[in-house]
Structure 1
């Protein structure tokens, strides 16, 4: 079935997953910014904090500023955020090419705070290929919550069966499928099947 609108996940689809452990760049924070990698990992792992940031209940800049205030440093939150965004900038050029050549309407649907959503569109340049970005921070709801998909349905004015989600997370795909969406599970095994699903040449 042809989809009227394709919703592309970002991390793990348009943005390649890092090799090794997540946030591997934190290991070099002492060298790059003079900050303690161990202390920053403890900050990242504070219970419930990531969920609050992803849903926009806690602005990422404020969380970073509050943590930096506990450290012996002159680094500002803006500098740490900029370093973070650039360190997580890993475009999958092949997949972005598929997006650029796909004939239908496209948006990004991602669990990310507002600053990263802006970075994805404006600095990484994805705004050239999609109509808009649906990011959990500004939306106030994150995948796999059904409300995330409901907002996209209302914006598009389309029926669920006319929407296609491309995602690497099975829970997200299952939640969209329960609403009647078409889905494509993106992983290393079947990524090369995506061009055919989009109706383009590999």
Structure 2
């Protein structure tokens, strides 16, 4: 059965993963904003914080405000968040072309807080490419939580086997498959097979 709805993961699929360590832009924070990269990495690595931010239990901007209050700086949380969002803006032109050419309905399904999901749709222009975005922060749940997939099923009104997830995370792919979804594990060695999966022939 061919899929009627494609759920596109964002980071690592539509948005290219950077070479090297994640958040590579943090190493340039001292030059860009006069902030300590080491201190900011310590902030990012606070136990449990990332998971709570991704599920909307903590506000990313509020946490940035609290952290900045501990630093000797005049940088605002608005400025730091804007810099963060711009620095993580790495659209993959080839994959976006496949999205644009695929005949199926399309949504984004991503583990991201509310500010980033808004940035993806408005600043990066994906509101013109997909019907909507399912983002973990506003939803209060993240892949591979069953509720994340269930919300998309209810919204679409489709049978699970009519939905295809394209994701670079193996656990997310496995969770989708366990619900009866079609799933494509996207990575360097499989990406060239995606157009065929989507029905793109030229």
CA distance in 1, matches of 2:80, 2:29: 10
CA distance in 2, matches of 1:136, 1:201: 33
**Which sections of structure 2, spanning at least 5 residues, go unmatched?**
none
2:183 maps to which residue? 183
1:166 maps to which residue? 166
SS in 2 for 1:90: coil
2:72 maps to which residue? 72
Question: TM-score, structure 1 length as denominator?
Answer: 0.99
2:95 maps to which residue? 95
CA distance in 2, matches of 1:201, 1:96: 16
| CA-CA distance at 1:127 after TM superposition | 1.1
2:136 maps to which residue? 136
SS in 2 for 1:13: coil
Q: What does the per-residue CA deviation read over 1:66-86, in whole Å, with 9 as the maximum and x for residues that have no partner?
A: 100111110000000000000
Mapping of residues 1-202 of structure 1, within 5 Å:
1-201=1-201
**Which sections of structure 1, spanning at least 5 residues, go unmatched?**
none
Aligned length: 202
CA distance in 1, matches of 2:110, 2:63: 20
SS in 1 for 2:117: helix
Question: TM-score, structure 2 length as denominator?
Answer: 0.99
Superposed CA RMSD: 0.6
SS in 2 for 1:79: helix
CA distance in 2, matches of 1:13, 1:101: 16
Q: What does the per-residue CA deviation read over 1:28-71, in whole Å, with 9 as the maximum and x for residues that have no partner?
A: 10010000000000000000000000000001000100100111
SS in 2 for 1:134: strand
SS in 2 for 1:164: strand
